[in-house]
Structure 1
Amino acid sequence: MSRENKLHPECQRRKLGMWFGVLFVRQGVYQGGIFRFCVHIPETFPDGGCPRVVFESKTFHPMINPHTGEMDVRSGFQEWRKNVNHVWQVVHYVRRAFYKIETKSPLNQEASELYDKNQEAFCENVRLCVKTSQEHVYDPAPVEDLHYISFEPYDNEVHGPIRDAIFKVKNSKNKLLLGISKALLDMRRTLKSECQLYTNSATDDLDAGADLDSETVTVLKRKRW
């Protein structure tokens, strides 16, 4: 499989209704993969049918066309309903395809056949695909677009202060939440204690009332006789 990481021609020109995305695969066969893709939204959206998804570099997957990079998402949205379907559902569908692999209507016949008949060869191609995606994660943006998602290697001088600020805010929030939790716990204990005292007092009053009623009835009976 080729190691080329050139941006697909459809993603080279910024269009209205084109979103850039990056998929980080955390587990499964594609674990460790960092795959870039573009979501092409029809100009007449939401009336223009299902958005298209095109991967920037060659991605070895049964549902991705090896020549155009386009993924088959229409199988999951055969009838696009503007009041029901949303773009986030398309992105979720793309993510799911890397965890639960389908080979019913493949766009990459080779990947489909290997997955069904030769898992070892399929996994080898996937490993190469994942490795390629990792090697190009820090490549400069192939288009001049502020919306393109770019990454830089960790630089302590640049990223260190930002990292410290994030953890400082996180620690402050944790302390605040801890204080609130403690206050709520103290309040709960106080209420529980007061409720217990009230219950005991009410029980004593009921017992006293019962005794009083009993004595009163006895006295009345005696006077009547």
Structure 2
Amino acid sequence: MRRRAKQEEPTAAAVDLDFADRDRALKDYKIAVEYKHLWQHAPGGVYVTPDLDDLRIWHGVIFVRRGMYANGMFKFSVELPQNYGDAGAWPRLVFMSTVFNPLVKPSNGELDLRLMMPGWNPAGGDCMLKVITYMKKIFYTKDFALAAPPNPEAQRMFRDNKSGFAERAAACVEESLSRRYESPPGSSLKFTEPRPAHDSVAARILGAQIGVPAAAGGGDAGAEAEGGDAMEA
């Protein structure tokens, strides 16, 4: 009669590893759900896509339609920490090109999220849709009243020298356009230079739209409405 092999008990290390794997899988699932929510409700003019190799890195771009940053095409990246989903686990949003703005750190291009979201709490509604909406607002706001802005020079100039601020913002727009074909590794958000073959396709698309009335509201109207907001903290 063959003896039954003794079943080994799982070690504490194996149990801890299994728990860690499950915890990470659950966090990854929540990130995927949150991205889908963002994809369905993202504000106009903003596009975001996950990195090809890392779910916790997102690449995005905002097309600014009006205001001092009009015609800008600002690319940015988002990094979600390993414990993202927990209270106090802020994401990081960093612009690829210069954004001269009271809410953007001049040293590294990072958007200051803690100023407007001092206690990151997913249970209280903090999420990436809120971050992206806030990011869009900084390009359209008509007033900044921040007690301790990340870029004090930008706030002073915005308040005391609007024409000078407008020049700095225009320079940011030019830089963003000059770098529009640059893409970080892992990004599927790529822009290529126009080619003659594209002209015929564009002509067909535009030709098909001739005579079709524009939809009421949406798009630019939404951007203008956001432009009246003020940033205070």
Please confirm whether the aligned pair reaches a TM-score higher than 0.5, indicating the same fold.
Answer: yes
Q: 4+ residue runs of structure 1 moved beyond 3 angstroms?
A: 158-168
Question: Which whole-Å CA distance do the structure 1 matches of 2:202 and 2:170 have between them?
Answer: 33
User: 1 or 2, which has the higher helix percentage?
Assistant: 1
- Report the equivalent of 1:61: 101
Deviation of 1:152 (Å): 1.6
Q: 1:20 aligns with which of 59, 66, 79?
A: 59
Matched, 1:137 2:180: yes
Aligned with residue 89 of structure 1, among 126, 130, 137: 130
The answer as to 2:135 corresponding to 1:98 is no
Q: What is the percentage of aligned positions where both structures have the same residue? A: 29
Residue 122 of structure 1: which of 165, 177, 182 is its match? Answer: 165
Q: Which moves more between the two structures, 153-162 or 49-58? A: 153-162
How do residues 127-166 of structure 1 correspond to structure 2 at under 5 angstroms?
127-139=170-182, 141=183, 143-145=184-186, 147-158=187-198, 160-161=200-201, 164=204
Offset at 1:67?
A: 0.9
1:63–1:102 Cα contact (<8 Å) kept: no
The answer to whether the Cα contact below 8 Å between 2:98 and 2:175 also exists between their aligned partners in 1 is no
Q: Which has the higher contact order (CA 8 A, sep 6+)?
A: 2
Aligned to 1:210: none
Residue by residue over 1:126-147, the C-alpha shift from the partner in whole angstroms, topping out at 9 and shown as x without a partner, is: 11111111122123x2x331x3
Distance 2:198 2:71 in 1: 25
Contact 2:103 2:149 in 1 (8 A): yes
**TM-score of the pair, normalised by structure 1:** 0.60
- The normalised TM-score by structure 2 is 0.59
The match for 1:50 among 79, 90, 102 is 90
1:78 correspondence with 2:82? no
**1:144 counterpart letter in structure 2:** P
Residue 102 (structure 1) shift: 2.6
- The letter for the 2-side match of 1:117 is D
Summarize the Cα distance change of 1:117–1:79 in structure 2 as closer, same or farther, 3 Å threshold.
same
* Cα distance in structure 1, aligned partners of 2:200 and 2:129: 33
1:144 and 1:38, CA in 2 relative to 1: closer, same or farther beyond 3 A? Answer: closer
C-alpha RMSD over aligned residues: 2.5
Query: Does the CA-based 8 Å contact 1:30-1:98 persist in structure 2?
Result: yes
Question: Aligned partners of 2:161 and 2:180: how far apart in 1?
Answer: 29
Provide the rounded CA distance (Å) in 2 between the counterparts of 1:45 and 1:167: 47
Deviation for aligned residue 1:166: 9.6
1:63 Cα deviation from its structure 2 partner: 0.8
- The unaligned stretches of length 5 or more in structure 2 are 1-52, 213-233
Which amino acid in structure 2 is aligned with residue 57 of structure 1?
S
Q: Which has the larger radius of gyration?
A: 1
Q: Give the AA of the match of 2:170.
A: R
The 8 Å contact of residues 56 and 69 in structure 1, kept in 2 or not, is answered as yes
- On the 8 A contact 1:62/1:103 being kept in 2, the answer is no
Q: 1:114 to 1:167 in 2, by over 3 A?
A: same
In 1: Cα distance, 2:145 partner to 2:177 partner: 25
Q: 1:17 to 1:159 in 2, by over 3 A?
A: farther
SS at match of 1:137: coil
Separation in 2 of the partners of 1:148 and 1:158?
Answer: 20
Q: Distance in 2 between matches of 1:150 and 1:62?
A: 28
Equivalent in the alignment of 1:9: none
